[in-house]
A and B are shown apart, each in its own frame.
Chain A
C-alpha cells in the first residue's frame, strides 16, 4: 500500500540505523510516547538495530492501558443494566476492573457491541430508540474529533437515547508528568504522529524549552521511527532541545484546525486519573457542561463513584519507562494476554503484551 510499504524497506531502515550508530557517542535514553510506536519497535526489532548506547523506553500512550479502574468499573456498571446497549472499541472488553471485565458482562447476557467508529454507536441509537445506547469514549487527541462529531451529530439530529462514558486523555500533560518526576531518566521524546496530525505541535515547543529535551514528531512505520530516533540523537549530541517534525507527510505545525474547532465545541480540559500514574491535572477531556445530557456518568448517576487501584501489577512503572516487562515477576506467568493482571498486558499496544507476543522466548538472533 502506498505510504506504508515504502516505509518498511529494510535497506532504507539499515541506512538510517547506520547513520544513528555513526552519530552516537554517548548513552541516551529516548521514550516513544505512543503505544502504536511501541508495537512497531518490538515487532520489527527496531531497538535491536540501534547502538548499545541508546535505550528506548516505552511511554504511556495506550489509552486502553491508562483508562482508570474507576472508569472500567463504571463501564461495567452501565453495561450490566437492562435496557442498555453498551458500545466500545474491542480492546476495552478484556481490561480488568476491580472484580470483572466487560467481556464477562457480555457472557452473562449484557448487551455489548464492538464498534469501529463512534458514529456506528450513534447509528445503533437511531435504530434502537427504546434503548439507552452508551459509547465508551476512550482515546488520546487522535480519537477526540471522531467522538466530538458523534456528540455534535446526536445534538443536531435530536438523538436523545445516546450518551458517552468519556475517558479522554491528553499527551502533553503526561510528558510533563514524566519529565517532572524525580526518577525521570528520559532525555528525548518521539511524539505521537497521529495525535499531532490532529493537534499540531505548537504545544510541545514550551515543553522542549522548559525541560531541555528534544521532542520529535514521528510516524509509525519502521523507517519513520528510525528517522525520528536519528533526529533526536542528532539534537542530543549537538546539545539542542527543539521540536522537529519527522512525520511531515501527515503533520503540520497547526494541526487539523476544523477538527480542533469541533473538539473545543464539545469538550473541555479536565483533570483525569491515569491507571498506574494517578491523577494528573488538566490531562483529559470531558464533555462541556452544556452537553451534560450526553454524559453517561451523569445519566446513570455515577459521577461520585470512587474506586482506588490495588493490584500487584507494576504497569505504572512500565508506563513511565522506569521498569521493563521482564523485570515483573508476574510477566508471562500469572499475567498473560489471556489472563491480564493489568492494562499493559491487555491491549496489543500495551508494552507487556508487545513483549509477550514478540519477546517472551528471548531473541533468536542475539541470544
Chain B
C-alpha cells in the first residue's frame, strides 16, 4: 500500500503552486504526476511517486552510499566478511 516507485521528470506541465504537475517516466511508462510536494524538483530529477503524487526527490549521491560501502568491504578482502 505504501508502494512508491522512482521515476524521472520529463516535463513540467503545470507550474501553479498546488496543481504543480509533470510527466514522469517509470521504465517504459509515462504518467502525469502531481509535483506540489517537491517544489525543489525539476526536469531530469528523479522523484519517488505514490498514489499519483511525488512524495520526495531522490538524492543521487546518497543512492551510491551502499555501493561505496560494499566496495570498501571488498577492498578489505573477502576474509573479513566470510560467514562464521
Identify the A interface with B (CB < 8 A): 1-4, 6-7, 12, 15-16, 18-19, 21-22, 24, 34-36, 51, 61-64, 89, 91, 116-120, 138-140, 142-143, 145-146, 149, 152-153, 156, 192, 194-195, 197-198, 220, 223-224, 227, 246, 248-251, 256, 258-259, 262, 347, 349
Contact = CB atoms under 8 A, between A and B. Distances in A.
Contacts of B48: 194, 197, 250
A175 B50 CA distance: 23
B73 interface: yes
B51 A118 contact: yes
A223 B66 contact: yes
Nearest to A192: B2
A200 to B, nearest CB: 10
Interface string B37-67: 1110000001010111101101110110111
B27 interface: yes
| Residue among B4, B27, B65 with max Cβ neighbours from chain A (10 Å) | B4
Interface string B1-45: 111111010000000001100000011000000101111000000
Contacts of A262: 37
A117 B2 contact: no
B52 A117 contact: yes
Contacts, number: 140
B59 to A, nearest CB: 5
Given A34-B2, A145-B55, 17 more contacts: A1-B6, A1-B26, A3-B46, A18-B83, A51-B83, A139-B1, A139-B2, A143-B50, A149-B34, A149-B53, A153-B19, A194-B4, A194-B55, A227-B66, A248-B62, A249-B60, A256-B37
